[in-house]
Chain A
Amino acid sequence: MASIQGTRGPGRIRGTRTRGIALHAVLVVGLLLSAFPFYWAVVMSTHTSSEIFAYPPKLLPGSHFPENVRNLFHSVAFFGSMWNSLLVAGSVTFLVLFFDSLAAFVFAKFDFPGKNVLFALLMLIFMVPAQLSAIPQFVIMAKLGWIGTMTSLIVPAAANAFGIFWMRQYMRGAIHDELLDASRIDGANFLRQYWHVALPVVRPGLAFLGIFTFMGQWNDYAWPLIALTNPDNVTLQVALSQLNGTHGTTDYGIVVTGALLALVPLLVVFAIGAKQIIGDLGKGAIR
């Protein structure tokens, strides 16, 4: 911590270069701490289980990655689970983008009786914790016969308070009333205004919500663990957890290989939208 104080020390005009180097040195240490578990996962995925627990530990990648991948595909329905995850995350993202932006458009740009009450209710719902509704949700799903299917994950997530709030804030600034008035004079109805006037100008906001939703659904674990009662038909995160927990001792080479492969689609999505996500996250917090 001494170095941090040093970097901000007063009266060292000529020391800016040294200060800059010290600053980056500390930041790089933080970066290495952030990155190390990823590196360690790569190391583990390329070794056999006995190599992983050897002493002294092997700190460099080994050569058993193909073998671990083969074993992984043998011990769990990896591609089936990945397809389930893609199906759930993809459908939820699509539905959330449509329903949330449509509702947000109404809240941002129109007046109607009961609007304030409905919006206050929306914000209240934002605060209700998930486990309060977990039991009844499970019972309702069981009655509907959805337990064990991907429907039990997709339907309750199809619209959410966060997304409506987020898109409303975004639309208030981005959609100008003159544009709406002009389109109405041209005879555009409500849906046309939504599709042709609102959506084109809020694409960045939609991109953030889409990426955020996809990542959240891809990583979701608690509810899928409860709702997907058939162990052969689960999402990736539940499959990974099964692989980690069912055997008495974990074969880390295989499990970590699975965890890394499960991360790949997510990293692709994150890399595409990283700038957006990181920038907008900050803006959302300040608002």
Chain B
Amino acid sequence: MATALEKPAPTVAGLPAGRPRTGLRRYWHLYAAISPFYLLFLCFGLIPVGFSLYVSLHRWDGLGPMEWAGLSQYQYLLSDGDFWQSVGNTLVIWVLATLPMVFLAMVTAVMLNSAVRFKNVYRFAYFLPNVTSVVAVAIVFGSVFSTNFGLVNALLQAVGLDQVAWLNTPWGIKAAIATLMTWQWTGYNAIIFLAGLQTIPSELYEAARMDGAGPVQTFFRITLPMLRPVLLFVLVVSTVTGLQSFSEPQVLLQNTANESTFSGGPGHAGRTMVLYFFQQTFDNNDFGYGAAVAWGVFLVVILFSIINWRLVQRRGED
């Protein structure tokens, strides 16, 4: 290891070099300084993750004795229609939220970048939705999308269209959740894109203008390629957070169904993967199966993060 090579001549060591000391005595204060994180991680991260693997191989209600179940929880997971429905729900909501979000955020960032005045006012206002708690936002959106006399339906009625039972139909539920997410994250991502745009040297744009490139050409030939690392960051973050959405559907739909606050509304149309995990574990007290669901969610999230990564990377090679 490189560390072994560095030992004879440390670049910056904590104590003045002099008489030889053993590693632990010499560096103990450094290990002590980083230890809180690793201790916490050990207790509430590593042991739990290992333990959740162990739990997923058992039948367990969280209180009584564990009963060895082998891989049967995973076998059941693969054939569990409810789980696959939740995977589908999550993906549909994620696409409905992420595509408009990334598009709008990029357009907003490009415009902000060319605006000279009030830039800070816009940035502050666009960021505000992201500061607000999901609970508060979901409560407000719940009233806006309410079937009886919610604001959206009042608008539809005012222009002579039919009302939609937003929180009662499969697509209405997904659209409402996606709208909420788009509202909360567009400004945040726009500010990240804006920071990326500001690093693109203006000489590139000058050169493009000299060559007679139009704005569309400039965008696809210069802005987008230069923005790729930032786009990758935005996509990976929204994949990881979007595929683990929990609070949005939980608060929005908790009082539309009678059975469980984690049920995701009528027909379970808003029951995301993580919501399903919470329902199995903490409502049904099926800790063993819940742990298997958690590992399933983890694999789906990893899989889609990799897919996204490769998509953006490959576009770069063209």
Partners in one complex: yes
Q: Which one of A62-70, A71-79, A113-121, A202-210 contacts B?
A: A113-121
Is A44 touching B191 in the complex (CB atoms < 8 A)?
Answer: no
Interface residues of A in 249-273 (CB under 8 A from B): 249-250, 252, 255-256, 259-260, 262-263, 266-267, 270
The reply on B244 being an interface residue by CB < 8 A is yes
- Tell me the count of chain B residues lying within 8 A, CB to CB, of chain A: 114
The reply on A123 being an interface residue by CB < 8 A is no
Select which of A54, A132, A270, A278 is within 8 A of B48 by beta carbon: A132
Is B215 touching A244 in the complex (CB atoms < 8 A)?
Answer: no
**Bound-state Cα–Cα, A181 to B13, Å:** 10
Is B128 touching A106 in the complex (CB atoms < 8 A)?
Answer: no
**Bound-state Cα–Cα, A249 to B282, Å:** 24
Known: A155-B40, A255-B139. A286 touches B196 (CB 8 A): yes
Q: Which of B2, B45, B240, B297 has the most CB of A within 10 A?
A: B45
1/0 per position for A41-76, CB-CB distance to B under 8 A? 100100000001111110000000000000000000
Select which of A7, A10, A130, A286 is within 8 A of B214 by beta carbon: A10
Is A110 touching B13 in the complex (CB atoms < 8 A)?
Answer: yes
**Bound-state Cα–Cα, A41 to B138, Å:** 11
| CB-defined contacts of B123 to chain A, threshold 8 Å | 278
CB-nearest residue of chain B to A112 = B27
CB-nearest residue of chain A to B229 = A286
B226 to chain A, nearest CB (A): 11
Is B41 touching A125 in the complex (CB atoms < 8 A)?
Answer: yes
**Bound-state Cα–Cα, A161 to B46, Å:** 13
B77 to chain A, nearest CB (A): 15
| CB-defined contacts of A241 to chain B, threshold 8 Å | 135, 250-251, 254
The reply on B207 being an interface residue by CB < 8 A is no
CB-nearest residue of chain A to B11 = A111
Is B135 touching A259 in the complex (CB atoms < 8 A)?
Answer: yes
CB-nearest residue of chain B to A193 = B14
Known: A53-B148, A134-B294. A30 touches B14 (CB 8 A): no
A1 to chain B, nearest CB (A): 8
Select which of A31, A191, A286 is within 8 A of B230 by beta carbon: A286
Known: A245-B255, A285-B192. A34 touches B154 (CB 8 A): no
Known: A23-B115, A122-B37, A262-B133. A132 touches B14 (CB 8 A): no
| CB-defined contacts of B233 to chain A, threshold 8 Å | 285
CB-nearest residue of chain A to B50 = A136
Select which of B27, B146, B191, B216 is within 8 A of A281 by beta carbon: B191
Is A133 touching B52 in the complex (CB atoms < 8 A)?
Answer: yes
The reply on A103 being an interface residue by CB < 8 A is yes
**Bound-state Cα–Cα, A277 to B195, Å:** 13
The reply on B122 being an interface residue by CB < 8 A is yes
Q: Which of A57, A111, A249 has the most CB of B within 10 A?
A: A111
B302 to chain A, nearest CB (A): 8
Interface residues of A in 62-98 (CB under 8 A from B): none
- Tell me the count of chain A residues lying within 8 A, CB to CB, of chain B: 110
Known: A7-B111, A44-B143, A252-B143. A105 touches B33 (CB 8 A): yes
1/0 per position for B19-43, CB-CB distance to A under 8 A? 0000100010111011011101101
CB-nearest residue of chain B to A53 = B149
Is B27 touching A56 in the complex (CB atoms < 8 A)?
Answer: no
The reply on A230 being an interface residue by CB < 8 A is no
Q: Which of B11, B129, B139 has the most CB of A within 10 A?
A: B139
| CB-defined contacts of B195 to chain A, threshold 8 Å | 281-283, 285-286
Select which of A8, A134, A194, A266 is within 8 A of B131 by beta carbon: A266
A134 to chain B, nearest CB (A): 7
Is B45 touching A57 in the complex (CB atoms < 8 A)?
Answer: no
The reply on B159 being an interface residue by CB < 8 A is no
Q: List 19 A-B contacts (CB under 8 A).
A: A10-B214, A34-B125, A34-B128, A38-B128, A40-B140, A53-B150, A113-B23, A115-B3, A131-B294, A133-B48, A135-B291, A136-B51, A136-B52, A155-B44, A218-B133, A221-B133, A237-B135, A245-B251, A274-B127
Contacts A106-B33, A113-B4 known; list 13 others, CB within 8 Å. Answer: A26-B111, A30-B122, A34-B126, A37-B140, A133-B45, A134-B294, A135-B287, A222-B246, A237-B136, A247-B255, A252-B143, A270-B128, A285-B195
- Contact surface of A with B, Cβ cutoff 8 Å: 1, 4-5, 7-10, 20, 23-24, 26-27, 30-31, 33-35, 37-38, 40-41, 44, 52-57, 99-100, 102-103, 105-107, 109-118, 121-122, 125, 128-140, 155-156, 158-161, 164, 177, 180-181, 184, 190-191, 194, 215, 218-219, 221-222, 225-226, 237, 240-241, 244-245, 247-250, 252, 255-256, 259-260, 262-263, 266-267, 270, 274-275, 277-278, 281-283, 285-286
Per CB-CB distance, the 9 closest pairs between chain A and chain B, nearest first, are A282-B195, A136-B48, A133-B48, A259-B136, A219-B133, A8-B215, A136-B51, A53-B149, A159-B37
